Amino acid sequence: MTGKTITEKILSDHSGEDVRAGDYVEARVDEMIGHDVTGPLAIDAFEDVTGEDRELAAPDSTVFTIDHHAPADGVKAANNHNIVRAFAEKYGAHQYEINDGICHQVMIEEGFVEPGDLVVGADSHSTTYGGLGAFGTGVGSTDLGTTFATGELWFRVPETIRFEVHGDLPKGVYAKDLILKFIGDVGFDGATYKTAEYAGSAIADLPIHQRLVLANMAIEMGGKAGIVEPDDRVVDYLEHQADLEVSIDPDLASDDDATYEAVHSYEGADLEPQVAKPSNPENAVGVDDVVGIDVDQVFVGTCTNGRYEDIRVVADALEGEQVAPGTRLIVVPASGAVYEKCLETGVLEALVAAGATFQSAGCGPCAGYHQGVLGDDDVCLATANRNFPGREGSMDSRVYLASPATAAATALYGEITDPREIETERYDDHATADLGVVR
Ligand SMILES: CC(C)[C@H](C(=O)O)[C@@H](O)C(=O)O
Ligand code: SF4
């Protein structure tokens, strides 16, 4: 038998079988997560498949967040929140409140996820956990409900596509630019049901908050998962960020003779800031192609780029300046802890002084529900992960996707601007360190 990818190792470990891509397994799931949109449906499924004396297979690993419509933007959302609250209390699951933050950020900050874990969430960006070296994947609410009951789920072991970036990244180029480039190269369905494995010296040098961006957006090329091999940076991050002590099994890495479906190789020095044009993340182009396009709104937030490091880059660029007249800057921290960190460090104050609207933690306008929905013909540049038609509001609005640095430069000038124009020292910190320590 040939060697294994990290994906094959994690699924072997969780099924007790020696599996390879294409095999089907019943696997033990370490953590499961539902939120205010998918949680109530998963609860229905759980109640359908369980009998009178129903109980959760693993209450301590079952997590609910209230993040998509939080605070409630209508009666339906408010009722859904109450369903989640009542269920979690009755069955002893963990439940996080409005302003605690987006499910994926909460799962990481609260120390639920460890390298090598198998995590399922009824949310497509559950791939995010791969930034810590876990196998995370999105499932439907019915699958989540049955997993609540059994603690297990079936999987087809995915093939792996490897994206390698060698050397160093130039200034102004971040993980967001890398992932937009990868998606642009393989297409929005280029990794359907595959693991996107990210490797090479430029990736190994990335701080964890940036690795999470790569894993988060694996789904935008169809990926079942997105993984960066865990290392000592993950250990440090979890200790400081999540108050969690972990050690990493040296075997938790892809073997040299593992089988890959494809390997895409890049030289870091060749890369430049990317922007995905409307209305698909695969429409990635070098920022030069879109500079000068007027924007009505800049949105900084989401489970992709709503972390402290991301928001701080924007605050730094705007400190002592004003958001361009006629442009709305909306900032939504990914978690309550990120909010507090912005408050404590003067980031919130700097943004408000510059004219930004700073809102409570959660998904914000990312999926077009509230807190900054776009109108007809509105043009937005967002640090989000999706820009499908109507994603942030009107079907006639247009959304460009980019890094926080590009968002900062764009907010300053009111038109898409190359972040390298306004680079500051803090951009370097942002690129190399995890600053969002919340404990
Ligand atoms: C509401 C939820 C099911 C959805 C998802 O799974 O992705 C949302 O988070 C999104 O980003 O569109
Ligand atoms: S921030 Fe956006 S992409 Fe992430 S979970 Fe919320 S709605 Fe989905």
pLDDT for the residue 430: 53
Burial bucket for residue 22 (CB in 10 Å: 0-12, 13-18, 19+): exposed
CA of 103 to the centre of ligand 1 (A): 11
Among 68, 63, 24, CA closest to 147: 63
Q: Superfamily for 276-432?
A: Aconitase, domain 3 (3.30.499.10)
**C-alpha dihedral (17, 23, 25, 27), degrees to nearest 10:** 70
For residue 331, what are the β-bridge partners? 300, 358
Alpha-helical runs (H) found in 92-133: 103-109
Site to probe by mutation for ligand 1, drawn from 69, 125, 224, 363 as the one with most ligand atoms within 8 Å of Cβ, is 125
Q: Is 38 in the pocket of ligand 1 (CB under 6 A)?
A: yes
The predicted pLDDT at position 1 comes to 81
CA of 370 to the centre of ligand 1 (A): 14
Locate 177 and state its tokens: 């630019």
Q: Residue 120 and residue 146: Cα distance in Å, rounded? A: 12
Q: Which residues contact residue 214 at a Cβ distance below 8 angstroms, ignoring those fewer than 6 apart?
A: 130, 131, 175, 178, 179, 196, 198, 203, 206, 226, 228
State residue 429's pLDDT score: 57
For residue 120, give the 3-state DSSP assignment: strand
Sheet hosting strand 31-34, strand order edge to edge = 94-95, 62-64, 31-34, 118-121, 135-138
Residues of the chain scoring pLDDT < 50 = 439
Query: Ligand 1 test: best mutation among 33, 73, 124, 141, most atoms within 8 Å of CB?
Result: 124
Q: Please list every protein residue whose CB sits less than 6 Å from any atom of ligand 2.
A: 68, 102, 123, 125, 302-303, 363, 366-367, 385
- Residue 189 has a pLDDT of 98
Measured between alpha carbons, how far is residue 74 from residues 26, 70, 296 in Å? Answer: 39, 10, 26
**In the chain, what percentage of residues exceed pLDDT 90?**
94
- Distance CA(250)–CA(238), nearest Å, equals 17
Our answer on whether the CB atom of 123 is closer than 6 Å to any ligand 1 atom is yes
Decide: 25 and 38 in contact? Cβ < 8 Å: no
Q: What is the pLDDT of the chain when averaged over all its residues?
A: 96
pLDDT of residue 435: 80
pLDDT > 70 in the chain, percent: 97
Secondary structure element (H or E) that encloses residue 12, with its range: helix 6-15
Neighbours of 142 (CB within 10 A): 16
Ligand 1 atom 7: the closest Cα is on which residue? Answer: 124
Q: From CA 379, how far away is CA 401, in angstroms rounded?
A: 11
Which are the contacts of 81, defined by CB distance < 8 A and separation ≥ 6? 36, 66, 69, 70, 72, 98
By most ligand atoms within 8 Å of CB, the mutation choice from 123, 302, 370 for ligand 1 is: 123
The domain segmentation of the chain, as residue ranges, is 8-267, 276-432
Query: Does the beta carbon of 68 sit less than 6 angstroms from any atom of ligand 1?
Result: yes
Q: Return the amino acid letter for 135.
A: F
Residues paired with 198 in a beta bridge: 163, 228
Measuring CA to CA, how many Å separate 286 from each of 11, 191, 270, 314, 348? 37, 22, 11, 20, 30
Q: Which atom of ligand 2 is nearest to the CA of 364?
A: 1
Q: What is the pLDDT of residue 52?
A: 84
CA atoms in the 13 A half-sphere facing the CB of 92 = 8
Nearest alpha-carbon partner for 34 in 115, 162, 139: 139
Residue range 190-203, pLDDT digits in tens: 999 999 999 999 99
- For residue 427, the model assigns a pLDDT of 57
Q: What is the pLDDT of residues 143-160, one digit of tens each?
A: 999 999 999 999 999 999
Whether 96 and 108 have beta carbons less than 8 Å apart is answered as no
Q: Of 3.30.499.10, 1.20.1540.10, 3.30.420.40, 3.40.50.2300, which CATH number belongs to 8-267? A: 3.30.499.10
Binding residues for [4Fe-4S] cluster, as ranges, are 303, 363, 366
- Three-state DSSP class for 294? strand
Same fold, 8-267 and 276-432: yes
The encoded tokens of residue 315 equal 């605050």
Query: Hey, what are 264's tokens?
Result: 């895409």
User: Could you tell me what percentage of the chain is helix, strand and coil, using 3-state DSSP and rounding each to the nearest 5?
Assistant: 40, 20, 45
Q: Shortest CA distance to 80 belongs to which of 118, 122, 52?
A: 122
